[in-house]
Amino acid sequence: MSSVNTTSTAENEGAPSKRLSVWAWLRTHLFSSPLNSLLTILSVWLLLAIVPALIEWSVIRSNFSASTAQECRSTGGACWAFIIEKHRLILFGLYPYDEQWRPLIATGILLGTIILSGFRRFWNFWLVVIWTVALIAVAILMWGGVFGMKFVENNLWGGLPLTLILSTFGIAFAFPIGVVLALGRRSNMPAIKAICVVYIELIRGVPLISLLFMSSVMLPLFLPEGMNIDKLLRAQIAIVMFAAAYIAETVRGGLQAIPKGQFEGADSLGLNYWQQMRLIVLPQALKIVIPPLVGIFIAMFKDTSLVVVIGIFDLTQSGKAALTDQTWRGFSAELYFFIALIYFVFCFSMSKYSQSLEKRLATGYQR
Amino acid sequence: MTTPISSAPQARRLSWNNPGVRAIFYQVIALCAVGAAVWFLVHNTLYNLSVRNIASGFDFLSREAGFAIGESLIEYGPADNYARALTVGLVNTLRCAVIGIVCATILGTIIGIARLSKNWLIQKLASVYVEVMRNIPLLLQLFFWYAIISETTPGPRQALNPLPGVFLSNRGFKTPWVTGEGLSWLFGGFVCAIVVVILLARWARKRQEATGQIFPLWRVATALLLVLPAAVWLVSGTSLSLDMPVLKGFNFAGGLTLSPEFAALIIGLVVYTSAFIAEVVRSGIQSVSHGQWEAAGALGLKNSLALRLIVLPQALRVMIPPMTSQYLNITKNSSLAVAIGYPDIVSVVNTTLNQTGQAIEGIMIIMAAYLSVSISISIFMNWYNKRIALVER
């Protein structure tokens, strides 16, 4: 819906300038019709009602330095001192206080690896190596027990590193399973196709919460006696199972976009099934589905917050733990703003990245 | 993806070089592996259950539940059995899903159209809304709304009373509600009015196609929907009384209640999902080629008419599949209710399995409930999709 008139006139005049005077800009963009004028006035009124109050609450009357809750409340605005006081608990959960440099470094490694995977020059075999090394390093840092680091049980992990671990490990392990499921769903063999279809549709039909409940109450019953998996790993298994089904559907979309000629060409070269997939089909199919895969990663990053319901201290839950302190009660709005900001920064930058990627990878006709 | 390239005589031979034979072999292996895994899990489970003395089966459904449920649309008390409690949970889930779907669709469509508005301010505001809401986890939004609602509203004794009979407190939003036999007559009249409007719409369309005359359907329909129920009630002569909420002890009795949990859940679901629906609507409208707008303009249609008659019907074809998955998401996401204490099916099952220890049956009930709701929505939307699909010669 272009609104600026760009009809070209005589050749020697060149294109008319798109720059409009302030009045002309206002007229075309804000007051082009009675309805538009009304909408503009209404939204300006809405903004005037909300924005100044929000700024007053969050900046002007806020308090960054109070040492007690009473002092903080007296200013009448947001109490950011609460966040400053509790930031270690919110960000790292119950991890031993003196050892919290370890989750900090682990978070850095995970973030660095995620950013690194955004560059196209690393989209090759090295990415697998980098991820393997990074995940192992994160595991060593978090658990410890070697190189003179104290062993920390994983029920003490929490906060931002845990959210990142659950989502990155979840995607990293779900990805190969998802690809295999997608291939299985496209297979000519009825039995294998049926198994994959049943798995994918079953998982996609139920909410993640029910899978988390299942992993926390049913998994112990499934395992032979004496074998025990801890709570965090059970949640991780549920997330992997869940993500795999969604990845499978996305990859299937990519597989369907590969023309039949590619399969026939591979056949005529005498490649067997796995060679065909590895060398011809998957490289093309996966490239198509990278933007939707980033979308799945964003969704998983948000969905890891659901582990709250089975009592795992991710970012949301450790934030709620900070709220329970008797001496600092009643600052939930500040807390939720802070956590929402963290999630927003992550998800928004990833979605912007995915949009730019989509533009760069799109080779089709665009108007 | 192995296309059978072997010629006919080879296909009959039982050889490893025959793709058909290999395919059967692989499938048998896969089935055996899955079967073995299932047998292993079932065997372990049965053993573990017998060790823990848990009797499996659905017998517990007929036992007395013994717990109260905060809100229910159907009659329920702690003396009822588990099956009844689970039904209450399912009805609560469906209530959230239906209200959420309707509100999110309306809000999402408005915001999606606003994102394409020529009005710069409206367009930017809609973009900010979409980007902020869809990038914050739903659970966090639910906690936020729940905290806002329960912390900013006063206790029942200091309840805000903006209108007589309307109370706003941390026990929820209370309004007067009509009761009595007249209610079912009113409802019957409303259903009659809907049927009449549908018939009228068909007739008006036929007449417009035949003669070109436009019937003022919207005005007539609104009038019918308002007048007919009232008329039916007056004719029936049944009683209709107003049930006012009154403060009793620490809570209100009577009236219609909108609990804080339900309100937070609906606000969260609608705000979160409408951002996604707005994107679906926007991409649907953008998928209609520009020529269609220009052609509609050339026919002399206003922008609003062009949108309604030319663009939206074509955009709907693109929008329906992603919209279906958003509706499924609302239904599944309503399970997050358990985190803020709204008694949906997950929360009721959770209580049930804590009391009875019937974990497997409980999880199976949750999964069966969601699967059947998901499948019903899919079937309905696929039917609708077929109905509006492009009919080509």
Gyration radius of chain A's alpha carbons: 26
Q: How far is CA A200 from CA A64, A242, B366, in A?
A: 49, 9, 17
B51 to A225: CB separation less than 8 angstroms, yes or no? yes
Kindly state the DSSP code that residue B179 receives in the 8-state scheme: E
Q: Is B34 within 8 Å of chain A by CB?
A: yes
- Three-class HEC string of chain A: CCCCCCCCCCHHHCCCCCCCCHHHHHHHHCCCCHHHHHHHHHHHHHHHHHHHHHHHHHHHCCECCCCCHHHHHHCCCCEHHHHHHHHHHHHHCCCCHHHCHHHHHHHHHHHHHHHHCCCHHHCCHHHHHHHHHHHHHHHHHHHCCCCCCCCCCHHHCCHHHHHHHHHHHHHHHHHHHHHHHHHHHCCCCHHHHHHHHHHHHHHHHCCHHHHHHHHHHHHHHHCCCCCCCCHHHHHHHHHHHHHHHHHHHHHHHHHHCCCHHHHHHHHHCCCCHHHHHHHHHHHHHHHHCHHHHHHHHHHHHHHHHHHHHHCCCEHHHHHHHHHCCHHHCCCHHHHHHHHHHHHHHHHHHHHHHHHHHHHHHCCCCCC
Mean pLDDT of chain B: 83
Chains A & B: contacts with CB separation below 8 Å: 174
- Per-residue confidence (pLDDT) for residue A362, from 0 to 100: 66
- Three-class HEC string of A154-213: HHHCCHHHHHHHHHHHHHHHHHHHHHHHHHHHCCCCHHHHHHHHHHHHHHHHCCHHHHHH
Residue of chain B nearest A217, judged by CA positions: B359
Mean pLDDT of chain A: 81
Q: How far is CA B184 from CA B85, B181, B189, B228, B229, in A?
A: 25, 6, 9, 13, 10
Whether residue A220 contacts residue A237, with contact meaning beta carbons closer than 8 Å, is answered with no
Among A222, A298, A343, the residue with its CB nearest the CB of B41 is: A222
pLDDT in tens, B344-379: 888 888 888 888 877 888 888 888 999 998 888 888
For residue B154, which phi and psi values (nearest 5 degrees)? -75, 170
Whether residue A164 contacts residue A142, with contact meaning beta carbons closer than 8 Å, is answered with no
Task: Report which residue type is found at A332.
Answer: S
pLDDT-derived band at A5 (thresholds 50, 70, 90) equals very low
- Per-residue confidence (pLDDT) for residue A7, from 0 to 100: 45
Among A207, A336, A348, the residue with its CB nearest the CB of B135 is: A348
Considering chain B, what percentage of its residues have pLDDT values greater than 70? 94
Report the C-alpha gap between B266 and B96 in whole angstroms.
7
pLDDT-derived band at A363 (thresholds 50, 70, 90) equals low
- Per-residue confidence (pLDDT) for residue A10, from 0 to 100: 46
CA angle B35, B41, B45 (to 5 degrees): 140
| Number of other residues whose CB lies within 10 A of the CB of residue A334 | 22
Q: Where are the beta strands (DSSP E) in B271-369?
A: none
Whether residue A62 contacts residue A55, with contact meaning beta carbons closer than 8 Å, is answered with no
More confident residue, B131 or B56: B131
B335 to A210: CB separation less than 8 angstroms, yes or no? yes
Q: Find the mean pLDDT for residues B285-300.
A: 89
| Number of other residues whose CB lies within 10 A of the CB of residue A217 | 19
Q: Find the mean pLDDT for residues A226-239.
A: 84
**3-state SS class at B216:** coil
Whether residue B311 contacts residue B283, with contact meaning beta carbons closer than 8 Å, is answered with no
Q: Above 80 in pLDDT, residue A65?
A: no
pLDDT in tens, B167-177: 777 777 777 77
Report the C-alpha gap between B55 and B15 in whole angstroms.
50
Report the C-alpha gap between A258 and B4 in whole angstroms.
19
Q: Find the mean pLDDT for residues A2-15.
A: 50
Whether residue A338 contacts residue A347, with contact meaning beta carbons closer than 8 Å, is answered with no
Taking each helix axis from N to C end, the angle separating A190-205 and A231-256, rounded to the nearest 10 degrees, works out to 120
pLDDT in tens, A137-162: 888 887 877 776 777 777 778 788 88
- Per-residue confidence (pLDDT) for residue A9, from 0 to 100: 43
- Per-residue confidence (pLDDT) for residue B138, from 0 to 100: 92
Report the C-alpha gap between B341 and B357 in whole angstroms.
21
Q: Is B333 within 8 Å of chain A by CB?
A: yes
Name the residue among A334, A319, A315 with its Cα closest to residue A72: A334
Q: Which residues of A touch B289 (CB under 8 A)?
A: 367
Q: Which architecture does CATH list for B82-176+244-388? A: Orthogonal Bundle (1.10)
Q: Which of A81-95, A235-249, A280-294 has the highest mean pLDDT?
A: A235-249
Q: Above 60 in pLDDT, residue A54?
A: yes
Q: How far is CA B250 from CA A179, B69, B155, B159, B163, in A?
A: 57, 18, 9, 11, 21
More confident residue, B107 or A232: B107
Whether residue B176 contacts residue B244, with contact meaning beta carbons closer than 8 Å, is answered with yes
Name the residue among B259, B254, B258, B233 with its Cα closest to residue B243: B254
Question: Domain residues of chain B, as ranges?
Answer: 16-52, 82-176+244-388
More confident residue, A144 or B12: A144
A332 to B138: CB separation less than 8 angstroms, yes or no? no
Among A210, A221, A332, the residue with its CB nearest the CB of B45 is: A221
Which residues, at least 6 apart from A300, have a Cβ–Cβ distance to it below 8 Å?
Answer: A167, A170, A171, A239, A243
Q: Where do we find the tokens 């990074």?
A: A134
**3-state SS class at B253:** strand
pLDDT in tens, B199-231: 988 998 888 888 888 778 888 888 888 888 888
Among B47, B118, B141, the residue with its CB nearest the CB of A3 is: B118
Q: Above 60 in pLDDT, residue B95?
A: yes
Q: Which domains does chain A have, with CATH numbers?
A: 74-361 (1.10.3720.10)
- Per-residue confidence (pLDDT) for residue B267, from 0 to 100: 92
A189 to B27: CB separation less than 8 angstroms, yes or no? yes
Q: Which residues of B touch A344 (CB under 8 A)?
A: 132, 135-136
- Per-residue confidence (pLDDT) for residue A2, from 0 to 100: 42
Q: Is A5 left (phi over 0), alpha (psi -120 to 50) or beta?
A: beta
Among A28, A264, A344, the residue with its CB nearest the CB of B136 is: A344
Find which of B47, B119, B151 to mutate to test the A interface (most A CBs within 10 Å of its CB). B119
How much is the ipTM here?
0.83
Q: Above 90 in pLDDT, residue B272?
A: yes
Residue of chain A nearest B43, judged by CA positions: A222
Report the C-alpha gap between A149 and B75 in whole angstroms.
59
Whether residue B185 contacts residue B236, with contact meaning beta carbons closer than 8 Å, is answered with yes
Q: Above 50 in pLDDT, residue B119?
A: yes
Query: Which contiguous run of DSSP H or E holds residue B71?
Result: none
Q: Find the mean pLDDT for residues A251-263.
A: 86
| Number of other residues whose CB lies within 10 A of the CB of residue B130 | 22
**3-state SS class at B4:** coil
- Per-residue confidence (pLDDT) for residue A245, from 0 to 100: 92
Report the C-alpha gap between B47 and A225 in whole angstroms.
9
Considering chain A, what percentage of its residues have pLDDT values greater than 70? 93
Name the residue among A98, A225, A207 with its Cα closest to residue A149: A98
* Token pair of B357 as six digits: 């220890």
CA angle A222, A226, A227 (to 5 degrees): 55
Q: Find the mean pLDDT for residues A190-197.
A: 88
